[in-house]
Amino acid sequence: MARSLKMANQPGKGNLELGLQIKQRLVDKGLPPSVAKLYSQYTKRRSGQPGLRSWGDDEPSILLEDATILLEVAIEMKSGDETGWQKTMVRSGEIIEWLSHPSMGMGEVPLRLISAAIYQIAGYPARSSGLLNVATQYQNESEILRCLLEADFPALLKALVSYWVGRLPSNREKVSSPIGEQPVDFQSELRNWVVEETVRAVGILCSSMRWRNEPRMEKALVNLGKVAQVMWHGEHFYSALLAQLCHGVASEYLNVSMRNCLSPVRESLVGSGQDVLERYLRQSYLKRKALAWPSQILGFEYLSRGESFALCTPTGSGKTTIAEVAIIQSLFTESQITSETPVNGVGAPLALYLVPTRALAAEVESKFSRILRRTEVPVIVVTGLYGGTDWGPTDTWLTADERTVLICTYEKAEALIRFLGPLFMPRVSLVVVDEAHKVQFDGNRESLRRSESRSLRLESLVTRLLSYLDESRVRTIALSAVAERLERPLTQWVTEGQKSLPAKIEYRSTRQLIGRLMCLPNREFEIRYDLLDGTDLEFQTEGQSDRPYVPRPFPPFPQTSVRFKGAEKSLRPYLFWAAMHSSVLEQDGNRRAVLISIPQQIEGYAKDFLTLLEGDWQSDDLPEFFEPPTDGRKQALWHQCLDACQDYFGEDSYEYRLLQKGVVVHHGKMPGLMARLLVEIIDERIVHLVLATSTLSEGINLPFEVVLIPTLRRGRSDFNIQEFANLVGRAGRPGVSTEGQSLVLLDAQPLPGDNSLARSIRRARKRYFRLIEDLKRQRESSRARGEARSPLAELIRSIETLWHQHFGDGQTEKFLEWLEKASPLDPGSNPIEIVEALDSLDAILLSVIVEAELLAGEEVDSTELENRLKSIWSRSFAYYASKEQERLESLFIERGKGLRVNVYKDLVVRRRLYRTSLPPRDGDSLLRLYPTIKQDLARGKDYANWSREEQFYYVRDIVGLLGQLKRFGLGNPPRPSSWNEILRWWLVHERESFPEASKISKWYSYVSKNFQYRFNWGLGSVIALALDESSGGNLCGTSLTDWTGTGLPWIVFWMKELTIWGTLDPVAAYLLASGTRVTRNEAERIAQTFYTENQHLSADEKLDPSKIKEWGARVARRGRNRRDSSSPPVLPATLLRDFSVISGHIWRVMPVEAENEIYWFDFAGFPLAKSHKPSNWIPSYLDSYDFILNSSRKEVRSEIYV
């Protein structure tokens, strides 16, 4: 065994030459056969299978020697700041990780701890945590070192306390020596010294990570170095190596701690900002996130400069943390606020977080709420306005003078610009564009033409935001996955061309493993792995090619009488059986989170799963994949989720029945509250098996150890490389495991013949291997193919192309003449495709023109308009992404000028069309119907006093009236139901009106598309027109006080909330929206208290949002006051040291419990005092409280940590 690696000394020249040869063989050429073979052996043995027949007894020791020398090379490269040292070090860590499995026969060598230490030094803390998350197989490991290398500092604190419990002074007197017993010989004395010096230094490190300052840290590092030097003189090489690595890890922790990395950001915060950041850091500490990952360190550097930037890193690299810190920074920087009150008439700062989908908005809101809503002084409002171009009660809270974090979809942000204008825009201090690569045109020209393209909405929205916001005080951050073709133009777009390169790092916190779950005859399985981090896993054994595989990973599934017909459906018993077994409690005490990713028709999968669970498999011994929570907090969340699911889906639904069994069914059209609760129980690891559509797997930041993929088709289309890469990118749970695996279900052998079943099986195999080859080529080529494509540029090109195709003239002059004068309201001989595309472009241009006129307070002249159009174009993605941007700019400007002069000549007409939030053709239709709609809405002034039936008929009539317009037209409902029937089910929610289980997800989809999106969009447009009337068309922000001027009753203001939450009661809707209640029946019951207390008011006054909000806040406060808030008592203390000779009298201490006493140790392990242990003492106090010894008062008091 090589013993040349002594990190305390310089390596020899010969050793380095050998090391460089090993590096070239094991690192520089991807995954070499010897390492692939090791991984195959590790995979089989980890799965409880026999190892490779060709595996030699001497291979582990040879590989370990190579990995050790490789580590030496990496350390030398790091000291010389050479490129590639991290990659070299990580490969060393991987080899040692795979050799650490007990079956490899490496004896007592602490390889797992060594590998974890290597990962930490290389900047991969999540891999270290994931590796050490497995505990039960390695009983010989030091618990203190395990917690240290896992960077689990709360657990480390408990381990330190346990250590000192065993070393309490036996005489119960004041102690002057750090070592209680005298060793019997030199070896014992030396061993005790090594252990105690290590524990003391680790305790000081733990103190440094928990709080801000620890003056003894430098000395502690020196002592750790001395321990390592002593260890090198012993007989145990790998113990010495571990000691040296631990010294390096401690140094690395200080460098990459969140506290250290965020110190420049902290210094830029004013007011209460530093306190808020401190709470954030403490929450991170408790959540085992005290260390910053490489991608986060890069992002923090950009934040400290106060610049706009684009951050391009892979999925699972920690981008959301950058957004969290940026939000705190934006709410408390000197450029935003100089005191705790609004300045210059501008409200408190507002951070705008833009997301592409409602599902992602709900997930982000839930996460930010846990971080920021607990901040009571100052108050920080976290609100998620998920979608639609509407306006309602939750939107008006944005006008309050409280710091606000607003999470919303692109459409909602567009509506806010139109509705809240002056009250909204000056408050914005930060814009975060999540999934910013979505601005890339997706090739769907039909959605582009019909003004339904989300990429076009994103480009239009962000372009105008960037042009309106004050760049001197507003920062824009784009978060994106790595996408070479987009990175440069995306960065230029959000930085106004000031930067051309993004903040980019190829860092991923876990490995990605991709393979096949082979479905064999006789109900058996086999797993074959093909790619690891995009690298082929093929290796040679006994003269033949092979890859890692696991025979019989699960027992055969039980017999079933159900016939599943078709190539894909026939694999469903395999799918469900594999999913259950993948999430059972493993020997290491962990459960893996498993996602079954369904591209479409999720209700069919849910039905088939239940058919097996409640049918043929009911009497069989099923794998125990779910265990109801016993922790009090998790129990409460679990029951909330069950109650909400029963409320929204019903007891007979697939969703509720599967949830009871521990299976989450998640689809994008479910209610926002339900979706949020489901995400929480997955994130809290209450439920481990998830059946979900792409809304969960393609957008929400929930990682899974295992992703099972039953099909690589969506409808009649095959997955492309981007879809597949995004899906498998969700595999991997940082801090829980070192890798995530994605398994595609395939029939083991293609059937002979040419029947449809055989062809389907062969096509499925072809799809898989084609995607595998594409992924390999993508990694090998290093650059993605194609180019950036702006949807705005593509729309202009599309108009031009359609015109030439239809008129066939080819003369640019005639096209320009047509472009200046063509009116979508009077299409003439123009084909509908050209009319729709032109109308889509006009919607953008009209917004630019009207907003310029509103800001100026009058009609702008031609020169001003042209300058404005040029300015907008120069801030567009098209400007940076299009090769022919100058020509496209001229077309954009010519159409904009012609639109005002030739098409929409009247200023009032332009403004009214703009207020509708619609393309002009649809806006014109709404304007004609508007008087009738407004008259019908006015009938609702007595809504609060009506019966439930009267309330329903009122809402139904408005829905039907708006549905007459094409843009808001109600789609065909699932047969044989009617839209009226579905609306009643949703709003009245009587048990007898619930559909059968197979229809409920389709009904929810209908509700989402037609009532929550189209109807609310139409209602918002009507409200906008009414507000425009009441303001006389003047530019002014919208607030609650303006509402009465519209002539509309308050129920119109609440109607959006009714359709979002599925109730006819506005007060109940508010309770659900604020999270005060989670079921509609309970919310409606509590709401009756409000009506009783306010029965003296008129019907319309009862629905005044300010009154409802004030009452709702009281309800929420009463709920919080009922919670148990017991805290540790102040304890008299007997001092164990002479403090008269020591400066200072305040000491942070940890409780070390004896039978009837508590010893108070400082974090370096010295007992300072003791107290009598009270009868009501709770050991878990250590999780939530800090303890402070006051040596002058001789007492110990507590402070809550967060």
Find all residues with CB under 8 Å of 840, minimum gap 6, and list them: 448, 449, 450, 451, 456, 795, 919
CA 563 to centroid of chain Cα atoms: 39
Q: What percent of the chain has pLDDT over 90?
A: 51
pLDDT of residue 310 exceeding 60, the answer is yes
pTM of the model: 0.88
Stretch 787-793: mean pLDDT: 92
pLDDT of residue 1 exceeding 60, the answer is no
Q: Position of tokens 């006493």?
A: 1157
Contact 568, 763 (CB under 8 A): no
Cβ-defined contacts of 100-109 (< 8 Å, 24+)? 101/42, 101/45, 101/46, 102/137, 102/138, 103/45, 103/51, 104/41, 104/42, 104/45, 104/60, 105/57, 105/60, 106/60, 106/64, 108/140, 109/64, 109/238
Sign of CA dihedral 34, 37, 43, 49: negative
pLDDT at 179: 36
pLDDT at 418: 76
Give the separation between CA 138 and CA 151, rounded to whole angstroms: 18
Measured CA to CA in angstroms, residue 486 lies from 410, 785, 791, 1106 at distances of: 19, 11, 13, 46
For domain 511-625+688-780, the question of CATH label 3.40.50 is answered with yes
**Quick one: residue 875, left, alpha or beta (phi over 0 = left, psi -120 to 50 = alpha)?**
alpha
Pick the range with the lowest mean pLDDT from 400-414, 600-614, 877-891.
Answer: 400-414
The count of other CB atoms within 10 Å of the CB of residue 594 is 24
CA dihedral 284, 289, 290, 296 (to 10 degrees): -100
Pick the range with the lowest mean pLDDT from 17-21, 194-198, 550-554, 860-864.
Answer: 17-21
- As given in the structure block, the two tokens for residue 314 are 């892979």
C-alpha radius of gyration, the chain, whole number:
32
Question: In the 8-state DSSP scheme, what is residue 141?
Answer: S
223-256: pLDDT as tens digits: 999 999 999 988 789 999 999 999 999 999 999 9
Q: In CATH terms, are 272-385+392-440+454-500 and 511-625+688-780 the same topology?
A: yes
Find all residues with CB under 8 Å of 125, minimum gap 6, and list them: 119, 151, 256, 291, 293
Q: Position of tokens 């230490």?
A: 117
Give the separation between CA 220 and CA 198, rounded to whole angstroms: 9
Stretch 288-292: mean pLDDT: 93
E strand spans, 552-613? 594-597
The count of other CB atoms within 10 Å of the CB of residue 14 is 9
Q: Position of tokens 């595996």?
A: 55
pLDDT of residue 785 exceeding 60, the answer is no
Give the separation between CA 818 and CA 698, rounded to whole angstroms: 42
Buried b (16+ CB within 10 A) or exposed e, 685-696: ebbbbbbbbbbb
Stretch 906-926: mean pLDDT: 93
Measured CA to CA in angstroms, residue 413 lies from 395, 627, 984, 1000 at distances of: 11, 41, 30, 30
- As given in the structure block, the two tokens for residue 1082 are 């309970």
pLDDT of residue 613 exceeding 80, the answer is yes
Superfamily of domain 272-385+392-440+454-500: P-loop containing nucleotide triphosphate hydrolases (3.40.50.300)
**Quick one: residue 34, left, alpha or beta (phi over 0 = left, psi -120 to 50 = alpha)?**
alpha
pLDDT of residue 911 exceeding 70, the answer is yes
CA atoms within 13 A on the CB side of 274: 10
Q: What percent of the chain has pLDDT over 70?
A: 89
823 pLDDT tier (thresholds 50, 70, 90): very high
- Of 477, 463, 489, 417, the closest CA to residue 874 belongs to 463
Measured CA to CA in angstroms, residue 825 lies from 215, 696, 835, 920, 925 at distances of: 74, 41, 9, 8, 10
Stretch 805-834: mean pLDDT: 87
CA atoms within 13 A on the CB side of 1058: 28
DSSP 152-177: -HHHHHHHHHHHHHTT--TT-S----
- As given in the structure block, the two tokens for residue 687 are 């439920």
- As given in the structure block, the two tokens for residue 784 are 């993605």
pLDDT of residue 198 exceeding 90, the answer is yes
pLDDT at 341: 42
Stretch 338-342: mean pLDDT: 42
769-780: pLDDT as tens digits: 999 998 888 765
DSSP 1065-1112: -HHHHHHHHTTS-SSHHHHHHHHHHHHHHTTTS-HHHHT-HHHHHHHH
Q: Which residue has the higher pLDDT, 414 or 163?
A: 163
1102-1161: pLDDT as tens digits: 999 889 988 988 887 776 555 445 789 999 999 999 888 888 789 999 999 988 899 999
pLDDT at 843: 95
949-986: pLDDT as tens digits: 999 999 999 999 999 999 999 999 988 889 999 999 99
The one-letter code for the residue type at 619 is S
Helix (H) or strand (E) holding 607: helix 602-613
DSSP-derived 3-state class of residue 70 = helix
317 pLDDT tier (thresholds 50, 70, 90): confident
116-154: pLDDT as tens digits: 999 999 999 999 998 998 754 555 678 999 999 999 999
Q: Report the largest interatomic distance among the alpha carbons of the chain, rounded to a whole angstrom.
A: 105
pLDDT of residue 1083 exceeding 90, the answer is yes
pLDDT at 491: 93
1039 pLDDT tier (thresholds 50, 70, 90): low
pLDDT of residue 192 exceeding 60, the answer is yes
DSSP 767-819: HHHHHHHHHHHHHHH-S-SS----HHHHHHHHHHHHHHHHH----HHHHHHHH
Measured CA to CA in angstroms, residue 1188 lies from 49, 210, 484, 1175 at distances of: 53, 14, 53, 20
pLDDT at 1192: 93
Stretch 549-577: mean pLDDT: 90
Residues β-bridged to residue 310:
478
657-708: pLDDT as tens digits: 999 999 999 887 777 778 888 888 988 889 999 998 876 655 566 778 999 9
Domain-by-domain residue ranges, the chain?
272-385+392-440+454-500, 511-625+688-780, 791-915, 927-1121, 1131-1200
Helices 948-962 + 920-937 axis angle, to 10: 160
- As given in the structure block, the two tokens for residue 980 are 């009226």
- Of 315, 324, 316, 334, the closest CA to residue 366 belongs to 324
Pick the range with the lowest mean pLDDT from 423-427, 635-639, 1111-1115.
Answer: 423-427
Find the length of the chain.
Answer: 1202
Stretch 1035-1048: mean pLDDT: 76
Contact 626, 634 (CB under 8 A): no
- Of 834, 769, 766, the closest CA to residue 798 belongs to 834
